[in-house]
Chains A and B, each alone.
Chain A
Amino acid sequence: MKKTISLICIIVLVLTMSITFLVGCKSSDYDFTVMVYDRGEGFDYEDNITTQWINNNGPATIKWVPIQRTDFVGQLNAYLAAKDYPDVIHTYDRTHAMSLVSTGLFEDITDLFKEHCEETYRTAIDDSGLFDYDELIRNYCSVDGKQYIVPAIRPSVAQNGIYIRQDWLDKLDLDMPTTVEEFYDVCLAFSQNNLDGLPAGTKVYGYDFAYAGLSVLYNMFNVRPYPESMDMNVDEEGNVIVDILGQNFKDMITLGKAMIENGIANPEYITDKDGVAASTAFNTGRMGTSPSLWHSARFVTAMSIQADTYGVNPEVVGVPALKYNGKIMPYFQTEPVSTNILIAKKAKNKDKIMQWLNWMLLGEDNTSGGWFTLANGFEGDNFIYKNIDGEKTVEKIPLGTIPAPPAWYGAAYKLDLDYTKTGMWKFVDTYPAEYRPYTQKIDEYGDYLATLHYAHNVWQPIREAADFEANFTLEYQQILAKVLKDSTYSVDKAMQDLQTKWNEMNGNYYVGLYSAQYKSRAN
């Protein structure tokens, strides 16, 4: 009896080990590997309509490699260390891309890009009237004249903005806020009135700090929190301004603190890292504004449910950029190259990769590329073409017969391998014309464009400062969270502690390094 048990054990052992081996050495019938963000979501990367469609219709067969979105830099580091990273990687953070380039593991694609992509890109970019192709490539995609980055551009109006319940404003007979103070008052009013008629005792908020909430706040006060972010303000002489020690930051945390103390914002925003709780609150009438990605209108279907459930008439509009100290603070927009795509030196089929990227990003006539299907779905099932004013436009069919890929970035979306998902999602994003304003053609919003703050993300990361940046960021985050949530910790004390820490850790020296870099490049 015991012998049979041990025999069984050995068989199980051998079986499972061989299975693991086999699974590991899956057939390499793909041309190259492409990175995709793992957001812990409810679908399979290999087995869904979109990825299969891409593989069937694109010029190459690819294998997706999911990398965790949270703590992405650390995760990618581990892959790089293991020398087992995908052939195509992308990152939203240009400084990160630059540091990746400096590892020497990524290919100089200047010639490859010229050969396969330049023509289509040049046309598309110049056509958009927004940027100049050569300048774009030179400033954002190259280092010392060598191009490493394949650009993906997102010409939406702004990265982060504020949506607001216009119907709530109407109910309370309030005007659209134009200044920061007015915005605060509006949020306060929202939080004190249960305007959708939810069950008594339900907590209603005015604003939230999760996800985009804090960065919208930073923007409202023109604070670029180095070293937490590598986007820095620079004065006329080319010196980096340390915003977090300045008056604007002080005003910002005063406002934030007041928001939490007066029940306008949820103090437990820290654990809501992807903003799901916040957006759920907004969708279910428990929040009056939604600081979020401005190029997606995720709330639409949810709002219609809210309408049916509570008999309200939700109307969501964008809040125009607010004034701080009399000046309009434009919403934040990432630098023109919003997604930096890098190609590994070790990749085997680089030509195919370029062709594939070209197809994904632009397609033949800018309407049939991979991105288009990702954004809109399949004709007849998820959208139909309509003729509006003589122009062929896409009109979505709500709840199409096949669940469509969620159109996270709408018509302006060019490429985000992040969202190659379908099959499990209901079609929650419709784009009726009314909700397109913020993702529509930029021409109509020329004013906004002029005042957009494109990130000054032209920095080369400085190795010497790495330690300081890591340590100070932790201190800074601790102080920030404390001042917002702890009623016994005053704003003045926080500013003092920040200054002390900054001096202790010699922050001015490191900032000086960046200033020097800026000045030497300004030529």
Chain B
Amino acid sequence: MQTELTLKRNKKKFVWFNLFNNIILIIMAFLCLYPFLYILALSFSSGIAISRGSVSIIPIDATFVNFKVILSNPMFIRSLVNSVILTVVGVVWTTSMTVIMAYPMSKQLKGGKVVSTMVLLTMLFSAGMIPNYIWINTLKLTNTFFAIWLPSTVNVFNLLLVRAFFREMPKELEDAARIDGCTGFQMFLKIVLPLSMPVIITIALFALVGYWNEFGGSLIYLRSADVMTLPVRLNALINDGMVGGVGILSPEEMVFFSKEGAKAAAIIISALPMVLIYPFVQKYFAKGIMIGSIK
């Protein structure tokens, strides 16, 4: 039994600890957030302010010219559109294919072990960057979106996640449906799918983030300007300094323009979609990972 004194002492420790705890958490959160605020400030700042290095968190000599240059660059816009196409189609494709494959794998089927092994082996060994490249080339898929969609059809981790979820589904549901006369694919569509919405949405969101942020593969396979996606275009802009379209600025606006500002603006535009979406979907992610981790 604790005396009043120890209770009080514990309470005091409690308060101190909590404060300390929260401060550290706040610092960590700040470190995550600040870089983005900084870039945001840069993107709205004038060239001279930037060159003096005096931008810290708010824009100085605020201006829109950086965004004007980036947003009126048709190549940049096209890459944005390409990313959207890549992502939308890719998400539908990957999600549906993963779910379709996971379902039978969750049942005890003849030859199921073979399929599982085949799938798991790919986690241990892969052909490699160059053989894959040659193969995609041979299939004449280079410079098409299929070079990204097809090799990403099924992600093993997601597959296992969905399979685990299906396995968890109570057998009684299916038995009941069968008694009602519903069998086979109908049962899958009408009963199983609607109930698996949480996990489906989860892997769809994984796919969403994956496709939108896809860089390495796009760098190798999507080189033509008509299929180039946002990350590749952004990379060319940041690392190779390919900032074009400065000519649309009027001379007065030119004074405010700077390459750093343009880079910052491009970064903001590229990051914006994900930044806007993720707070609303984080609960799905958390749930999905928890399911997966338990498995």
Which positions 197-216 of chain B face chain A at CB distance < 8 Å? 197
Judged by a CB distance under 8 angstroms, whether B237 is at the interface is yes
Given contacts A426-B247, A426-B248, contact A40 B233 (CB under 8 A): yes
Question: What B residues does A69 contact at CB under 8 A?
Answer: 242
Judged by a CB distance under 8 angstroms, whether A73 is at the interface is no
B225 and A271 within 8 A (CB): no
A2 and B85 within 8 A (CB): no
Q: What is the 8 Å Cβ interface bit string for chain A, positions 171-200, against chain B (1 contact, 0 not)?
A: 000000000000000000000000000010
Given contacts A6-B193, A75-B223, A273-B240, contact A41 B248 (CB under 8 A): no
B88 and A16 within 8 A (CB): yes
Which positions 1-44 of chain A face chain B at CB distance < 8 Å? 2-3, 6, 9-10, 12-13, 16-17, 19-20, 23-24, 38-44
Judged by a CB distance under 8 angstroms, whether B110 is at the interface is no
Among B69, B76, B89, B134, max chain A CB count under 10 A is at B89
A42 and B247 within 8 A (CB): yes
A302 CA to B197 CA in the complex, in Å?
A: 59
A10 CA to B88 CA in the complex, in Å?
A: 11
Which positions 267-283 of chain A face chain B at CB distance < 8 Å? 271-274, 276-277, 280
Q: Measured between C-beta atoms, what is the minimum distance from B212 to chain A in Å? A: 15
Judged by a CB distance under 8 angstroms, whether A131 is at the interface is no
Which positions 42-89 of chain A face chain B at CB distance < 8 Å? 42-45, 65-71, 75, 78-79, 81-84
Q: What is the 8 Å Cβ interface bit string for chain A, positions 103-116, against chain B (1 contact, 0 not)?
A: 00000000000000
Closest to A16 in B: B89
B145 and A42 within 8 A (CB): no
Question: What A residues does B259 contact at CB under 8 A?
Answer: 272, 276-277, 280
Judged by a CB distance under 8 angstroms, whether B140 is at the interface is yes
A401 CA to B245 CA in the complex, in Å?
A: 20
Question: What B residues does A17 contact at CB under 8 A?
Answer: 89
Judged by a CB distance under 8 angstroms, whether B218 is at the interface is no
Judged by a CB distance under 8 angstroms, whether B255 is at the interface is yes
Residue in B51, B194, B223 whose beta carbon sits within 8 Å of that of A79 in the complex: B223
B137 and A39 within 8 A (CB): no
Judged by a CB distance under 8 angstroms, whether B24 is at the interface is no
A52 CA to B26 CA in the complex, in Å?
A: 58
Given contacts A41-B75, A69-B242, A70-B242, contact A12 B92 (CB under 8 A): yes
A42 and B143 within 8 A (CB): no
A309 CA to B251 CA in the complex, in Å?
A: 10
Q: Measured between C-beta atoms, what is the minimum distance from A2 to chain B in Å? A: 5
Closest to B263 in A: A271
Closest to A284 in B: B255
Residue in A3, A42, A425 whose beta carbon sits within 8 Å of that of B74 in the complex: A42
Judged by a CB distance under 8 angstroms, whether B151 is at the interface is no
Closest to B71 in A: A42
Q: What is the 8 Å Cβ interface bit string for chain A, positions 275-319, against chain B (1 contact, 0 not)?
A: 011001000100000000000000001100100010000000000
Closest to A274 in B: B241
Question: What A residues does B241 contact at CB under 8 A?
Answer: 70, 271-274, 276-277
Judged by a CB distance under 8 angstroms, whether A201 is at the interface is yes
Judged by a CB distance under 8 angstroms, whether B142 is at the interface is yes
Question: What B residues does A9 contact at CB under 8 A?
Answer: 92, 96
Judged by a CB distance under 8 angstroms, whether B169 is at the interface is no
Q: What is the 8 Å Cβ interface bit string for chain A, positions 223-237, against chain B (1 contact, 0 not)?
A: 000000000000000
Judged by a CB distance under 8 angstroms, whether A436 is at the interface is no
A78 and B223 within 8 A (CB): yes
Question: What A residues does B258 contact at CB under 8 A?
Answer: 277, 280
A302 and B251 within 8 A (CB): yes
A305 CA to B225 CA in the complex, in Å?
A: 34
Given contacts A40-B233, A42-B69, contact A274 B145 (CB under 8 A): no
Question: What B residues does A6 contact at CB under 8 A?
Answer: 189, 193
Question: What B residues does A83 contact at CB under 8 A?
Answer: 137
A406 CA to B226 CA in the complex, in Å?
A: 24
Given contacts A41-B73, A79-B223, contact A24 B144 (CB under 8 A): yes
B142 and A78 within 8 A (CB): yes
Judged by a CB distance under 8 angstroms, whether A424 is at the interface is yes
Judged by a CB distance under 8 angstroms, whether B52 is at the interface is yes
Closest to B78 in A: A44
Judged by a CB distance under 8 angstroms, whether B93 is at the interface is yes
B242 and A39 within 8 A (CB): yes
B143 and A84 within 8 A (CB): yes
A44 and B74 within 8 A (CB): yes
Closest to B246 in A: A276
Question: What B residues does A81 contact at CB under 8 A?
Answer: 133-134, 137, 142
Q: What is the 8 Å Cβ interface bit string for chain A, positions 318-341, against chain B (1 contact, 0 not)?
A: 000000000000000000000000
Which positions 250-293 of chain B face chain A at CB distance < 8 Å? 251, 254-255, 257-259
Question: What A residues does B226 contact at CB under 8 A?
Answer: 23
A173 CA to B255 CA in the complex, in Å?
A: 29
Question: What A residues does B137 contact at CB under 8 A?
Answer: 81-83
B247 and A425 within 8 A (CB): yes
Closest to A9 in B: B92
Question: What B residues does A353 contact at CB under 8 A?
Answer: none
Q: What is the 8 Å Cβ interface bit string for chain A, positions 385-411, against chain B (1 contact, 0 not)?
A: 000000000000000000000100000
A71 CA to B242 CA in the complex, in Å?
A: 11
Among A84, A301, A309, max chain B CB count under 10 A is at A84
A66 and B224 within 8 A (CB): yes
Judged by a CB distance under 8 angstroms, whether B48 is at the interface is yes
Given contacts A70-B242, A79-B223, contact A2 B48 (CB under 8 A): no
Given contacts A16-B85, A66-B224, A277-B259, contact A40 B242 (CB under 8 A): yes
Judged by a CB distance under 8 angstroms, whether B243 is at the interface is yes
Judged by a CB distance under 8 angstroms, whether A203 is at the interface is yes
Which positions 209-225 of chain A face chain B at CB distance < 8 Å? none
Given contacts A40-B75, A41-B73, A66-B225, contact A82 B89 (CB under 8 A): no
Q: Measured between C-beta atoms, what is the minimum distance from B76 to chain A in Å? A: 8
Among A6, A82, A309, max chain B CB count under 10 A is at A82
Question: What A residues does B237 contact at CB under 8 A?
Answer: 40
Which positions 356-411 of chain A face chain B at CB distance < 8 Å? 406
The 3 closest A-B pairs by CB, nearest first: A42-B245, A41-B244, A40-B242
A-B contact pairs, 16 of them (CB 8 A): A2-B197, A13-B96, A16-B88, A20-B89, A23-B226, A24-B144, A40-B75, A41-B73, A41-B244, A42-B74, A44-B74, A81-B134, A82-B142, A273-B241, A305-B254, A309-B255
Residues of A within 8 A of B (CB): 2-3, 6, 9-10, 12-13, 16-17, 19-20, 23-24, 38-45, 65-71, 75, 78-79, 81-84, 199, 201-203, 271-274, 276-277, 280, 284, 301-302, 305, 309, 406, 424-426, 428
